[in-house]
Amino acid sequence: MNVRIFDTTLRDGEQTIGVSLSPDQKLAIAKKLDELGVDAIEAGFPVISEGELKAVKMITSEGLSCEIAGLTRTIKKDIDAAIDAGLNYIHTFIATSDIHLEHKLKMTRDQALEKAIEAVEYGKSRGLQVEFSAEDASRTEREFLKKVFGEVAKAGADRVNIPDTVGYSTPEYMAEITRDTVEVTKLPVSVHCHNDFGLAVANSLAGIHAGASCAHVTINGIGERAGNASLEELSMALKCLPYDQKYETNIKSELIYETSRFISKTVGIIVQPNKAIVGANAFGHESGIHTHGVLSNPLTYEPISPELVGRKRWLQVGKHAGVHGMNAMLAEYGVKPTDEQSKQILEKVKVLGDQGKQITDVELLSIASDVLGEKDLKRIVQLSGFSVSTGIGTMPYAFVKLNIDGQDHIGTDYGVGPVDAALNAIQKITGKISEIRIKDYGLASISGGSSALCEVTVKVEDALGNKVSAKSVGEDIVTTSVKAVIDAINRIMLKKMLQEKQVN
């Protein structure tokens, strides 16, 4: 069974607090979603503003391969605005739960039903494809919900959607009302689930197993309050989990991580590290038992291959580390200690771990170089020049000069602060050379007073998904930050160089 993926990142996702997208940003996201393989994009709510109308027009004019829908209330002016935006597909809704009818709409059930029928009939009279949603369906009296869906089906709706508007349903109940809706309408049914109780994906799957043929989702599960069902979790669950029947989607799974990162950067919402599928830790391992198992057979501690979603496995050392995982990490940098040397390195790692410290890749290599008697780690990147300027009324500006494999490269950029400006300038250089990006940045004070020492921890990533972490301590935040980033870049470029040698 092929499940239709209706992506509402640009509409429900934009309703996330703190997110507001320009028309150009919405178009860029729409292109990414189309490349990913979604079947439909909810481009926006055309009637709410001139900018929203412009954005939807830009998307409908782009000639994307997926369907483009727009949200409307059951009001003629909303539907007319959707038509003005170039849409031929509307997603129209009205609330049907008693709490919404009484306190928000000030309507009776019969009045709401009449509005629903009128909107569907008007949309069809204008030649539109119409998908109807009964807002707050999961808290709507069950017999009335069946009546509403049955009547809009008679009025000509092409699809109906069951919204779990406040994430109030359980998977069992979502399955029940989905079966009701399929039976009474004989139409394609969608489910639109929110994550207030962390059940959005589970409820969406339950609806699909009960006969729904489409799920409304967002990238990274963004959306108002606790968000929506996550596209990456739902699509991979359908693709990989064992069910009585086979489910398929048109999602190109290898593009999931790239799309997730693009949306995260564009909307300004960081993905939590332990987020399924796309979180930084989703394919990371530290425990010695786990790393040993994964190195022997990845399926021991990974339900799917990271490459399936465009990612790479990565290992971390700490007090839970084992010798197999540690040696695998060192091997990525061309370091191959003896058994006795491995034991010494691991003991030092565990001492640091017991002190509550995170051990970065660079620290591991430094420990290894001490034990092996190799004092100088190979450095591909050298910091040749560096300066920042800042002040009241002027935007911080940075100049950075790097020597990479004997060639000088200069980068300049602005930032919200001197650290940001310096890191932006570095990324300008490394982005051209190796597509290296700074993924995480952490700052901590480790002593008090006016001459306090700061500790900067960074994580960088290249286009292949290789990750490296580094730490630096110093008195000046900007200089310490630059040193940490340069250390991390050195390690990731060394890792990449060794990988290319192995391939060739």
Q: Are residues 242 and 107 in the same domain?
A: yes
Question: What local confidence, expressed as pLDDT, does residue 398 receive?
Answer: 94
Q: Are residues 328 and 208 in the same domain?
A: no
Neighbour-count burial for 286-296, b at 16+ CB within 10 Å, e otherwise: bbbebbbbbbe
Q: Are residues 202 and 317 in the same domain?
A: no
Range of lowest pLDDT (156-165, 276-285, 402-411, 461-470): 461-470
The residue count of the chain comes to 504
- Look at the block and give the residue holding tokens 């359980």: 170
| Residue 496 maps to a domain | yes
- Look at the block and give the residue holding tokens 């990456």: 232
| Residue 177 maps to a domain | yes
Higher pLDDT, 315 or 216: 216
Question: What local confidence, expressed as pLDDT, does residue 153 receive?
Answer: 98
pLDDT > 70 fraction of the chain, expressed in percent and rounded? 93
Q: Are residues 176 and 148 in the same domain?
A: yes
How many structural domains comprise the chain? 3
pLDDT (mean) for 57-80: 98
Summarised one tens digit per residue, pLDDT across range 24-50 is: 999 999 999 999 999 999 999 999 999
Q: Are residues 108 and 231 in the same domain?
A: yes
pLDDT (mean) for 366-388: 79
Residue 146 has pLDDT above 70, yes or no: yes
Residue 374 has pLDDT above 70, yes or no: no
Q: What are phi and psi of 40, to 5 degrees?
A: -145, 145
Question: What local confidence, expressed as pLDDT, does residue 313 receive?
Answer: 81
pLDDT (mean) for 356-383: 76
Q: Are residues 108 and 218 in the same domain?
A: yes
Question: What local confidence, expressed as pLDDT, does residue 284 receive?
Answer: 79
pLDDT (mean) for 304-332: 83
| Residue 272 maps to a domain | no
What is the pLDDT confidence band of residue 378, given thresholds at 50, 70 and 90? Answer: low
What is the pLDDT confidence band of residue 69, given thresholds at 50, 70 and 90? Answer: very high
Q: Are residues 359 and 419 in the same domain?
A: no
Q: Find which of 58-72, 258-272, 336-350, 477-491 is predicted with most confidence, using mean pLDDT.
A: 58-72
Residue 504 has pLDDT above 60, yes or no: no
Question: What local confidence, expressed as pLDDT, does residue 11 receive?
Answer: 97
Contacts of 467 (CB under 8 A, 6+ apart): 280, 312, 314, 439, 459, 460, 461, 492
Judged by DSSP in three states, 296 sits in: helix
Pull the structure tokens for residue 325: 């995982």
Domain enclosing residue 101, as ranges: 4-267
Q: Are residues 117 and 171 in the same domain?
A: yes
Among 384, 392, 458, residue whose Cα is nearest residue 420:
458
pLDDT (mean) for 116-139: 98
Q: Are residues 328 and 477 in the same domain?
A: no
Residue 328 has pLDDT above 70, yes or no: yes
**Partners of 455 in the beta sheet?**
444, 473
What is the pLDDT confidence band of residue 375, given thresholds at 50, 70 and 90? Answer: low
Question: What local confidence, expressed as pLDDT, does residue 377 receive?
Answer: 56
Question: What local confidence, expressed as pLDDT, does residue 286 receive?
Answer: 61
pLDDT (mean) for 170-183: 98
Residue 449 has pLDDT above 70, yes or no: no
Residue 293 has pLDDT above 90, yes or no: no
pLDDT, mean over the chain: 90
Task: Count the helix, strand and coil residues of the chain and give each as a percent rounded to the nearest 5.
Answer: 45, 20, 30
| Residue 278 maps to a domain | no
User: Is beta strand 4-7 parallel, antiparallel or unpaired with respect to 40-44?
Assistant: parallel
Higher pLDDT, 380 or 253: 253
Question: What local confidence, expressed as pLDDT, does residue 137 receive?
Answer: 98
Q: Are residues 452 and 342 in the same domain?
A: no
For the domain that residue 221 is a member of, what is the CATH number? 3.20.20.70
| Residue 279 maps to a domain | no
Q: Are residues 207 and 75 in the same domain?
A: yes
282/307 Cα distance (integer angstroms): 12
| Residue 421 maps to a domain | yes
Report the C-alpha dihedral over residues 339, 345, 351, 355, rounded to 10 degrees. Answer: -140
Residue 292 has pLDDT above 70, yes or no: no
Among 118, 108, 110, residue whose Cα is nearest residue 73:
118
Sign of the dihedral through C-alpha 270, 275, 280, 286: positive
Residue that finishes a domain, picked among 354, 372, 390? 372
| Residue 189 maps to a domain | yes
Summarised one tens digit per residue, pLDDT across range 216-247 is: 999 999 999 999 999 999 999 999 999 888 99
Residue 434 has pLDDT above 70, yes or no: no
Q: Are residues 434 and 336 in the same domain?
A: no
For the domain that residue 350 is a member of, what is the CATH number? 1.10.238
Contact 364, 344 (CB under 8 A): no
| Residue 122 maps to a domain | yes
Question: What local confidence, expressed as pLDDT, does residue 42 receive?
Answer: 98
For the domain that residue 413 is a member of, what is the CATH number? 3.30.160.270
Higher pLDDT, 418 or 207: 207
Question: What local confidence, expressed as pLDDT, does residue 47 receive?
Answer: 97
Range of lowest pLDDT (14-28, 115-129, 442-456, 483-497): 442-456
